[in-house]
Amino acid sequence: MGLEGLTDWKVELAGSGAEALKKATLIKPDLILLDVMMPGMDGPTTLSELRKLDALSSVPVIFMTAKAQTHEVELYQKMGARGIITKPFDPMTLPDDIQEILKMEITSSSS
């Protein structure tokens, strides 16, 4: 069961960073989940490219990764990621995990 089955969210999939950039430019998403390790362009490079595009520069990005060392998490957050979801993750709680990350960002920016 995917995010669409657990929420009313519309989900678009991309098989690479380049495809994610192309799709994001066309659909202007409310949120982007990026895997750190992707074929071709990795997640951090994809995030850097997203931030260069005015229409996508403020779209929240959450990384998904099996590598969640403290220094890596700090680096991803400095790059502009809103949060990190570590693999393996529970697909049944993924919507709650995403909402919690977004809620933390809203709470901290309104303080």
pLDDT at residue 6, rounded to an integer: 57
State pLDDT tens for residues 6-53: 567 888 999 999 999 999 999 999 999 999 999 899 999 999 999 999
* % of the chain residues with pLDDT over 90: 62
With 60 as the cut, is the pLDDT of residue 109 above it? no
Provide the mean pLDDT of the chain.
87
Query: What pLDDT does residue 2 have?
Result: 63
Band the pLDDT of 1: cuts 50, 70, 90: very low
Q: What is the CATH number of the domain that holds 62?
A: 3.40.50.2300
pLDDT for position 111: 45
Containing domain of residue 71, as a range? 3-110
CA separation for the pair 28, 53 (Å, rounded): 11
Cα atoms found within 13 Å of the Cα of residue 63, Cβ hemisphere only: 27
Backbone angles phi, psi at 87, to 5 degrees: -95, 150
> Into how many domains does the chain fold?
1
